[in-house]
Amino acid sequence: MKFRRGRLYDAFFISDIHYLLNKKIKSHKHKELFQLLDHLNKKEVRFDNLYLVGDIIENWFFSADRRLQRVKGKKRFNKLFERLDRLASGNGKKYYIVGNHDTTSYLMRLTPKVEHYLIERGWIICEKAENETLIAIHGHQGQYNKFTWMGSILVLRVLHVFASAFPAMFKFSENFYHKHLNRQDPSTVEETLHYYQKLSKLTHQDKKVLISGHTHDFLCIPKMNIINTGDWVKSNSFVIQDGKKFSGIRMTARKEFKKEFVLHV
């Protein structure tokens, strides 16, 4: 598919960028993401609403707050958010939905400096964004409750202290966390349906479109009005809303895009 110059869409959804992550620690597609954002900007494609559906900034392996205090770190933040800000039409809103990798807070809040940075740029920080058509939420709420979240963050903080002194332990910490603390992402059809049914109930979805990220699975379940935006680790995917039509799009190469699914509401 191709983007028509000057096209205005209702909304743009993207998640699981894990920005700031060092590629030596874990793979990511940040270069390809910048190619997408630059292409949309060059084509003057704009969106009335932007939804960052969680795990945008990687704050588990490294402290995003400390990085933001450094000149070089501030430039890296600007490199991403200046591109995203240019996509906004100016008439709508920009939502930053907090995901589990965005924070190590017991209250699931962003760090103060990151929060202040985003608010200054006009982003609305929330756990869930909702209107008459859709609900957007990261999705880790389908795997954590308040108590399991607090317990996981406590252990993660201890691991983070050791990993700060010994960088090689970052990958060990992540593997340990997923193996012993975090429930594994759904892999079978039955597990997937159960996960999204739980998420639907938690969000009081009703007949709205439920858009999430978290599992990194780029998918659409039409019978449930559910979409997962995928990620920028392996999928190179995003979702665009045009009226009551939601299109899941994958970037296959530079300036090349494939429409994977369309959900009509």
170-201 tens-digit pLDDT: 667 666 666 655 556 676 788 888 999 999 99
243: left (phi over 0), alpha (psi -120 to 50) or beta: left
Alpha carbon distance 45, 179 (integer Å)? 42
The answer as to whether 184 is a domain residue is: no
Supply the range of the domain harboring residue 128: 8-138+209-264
Instruction: Give the CATH number, domain containing residue 72.
Output: 3.60.21.10
Percent of the chain with pLDDT over 90: 63
Which residue has tokens 């990687």?
58
The answer as to whether 143 is a domain residue is: no
Alpha carbon distance 198, 248 (integer Å)? 23
Q: What is the 3-state secondary structure (H, E, C) of 77-138?
A: HHHHHHHHHHHECCCCCEEEECCHHHCCCCCCCCCHHHHHHHHHCCEEEECEEECCCEEEEC
Element spanning 198, H or E: helix 189-203
The answer as to whether 152 is a domain residue is: no
The answer as to whether 199 is a domain residue is: no
The pTM for the full model equals 0.91
**Residues 45-104: tens digit of each pLDDT:** 999 999 999 999 988 777 777 777 777 778 989 999 999 999 999 888 999 999 998 988
Please provide the DSSP assignment of 47-61 as one string: EEEEEE-S--B--SS
The answer as to whether 58 is a domain residue is: yes
* pLDDT of amino acid 91: 82
* pLDDT of amino acid 243: 95
151: helix, strand or coil = helix
The answer as to whether 144 is a domain residue is: no
The count of domains in the chain is 1
8-state DSSP, 214: S
The answer as to whether 95 is a domain residue is: yes
pLDDT, mean of residues 210-216: 95
The answer as to whether 160 is a domain residue is: no
- Cα dihedral sign, 70-122-82-56: positive
**Residues 126-166: tens digit of each pLDDT:** 999 999 999 999 999 988 888 888 888 887 777 777 766 77
- Rounded (10°) CA dihedral 150, 153, 154, 158: 180
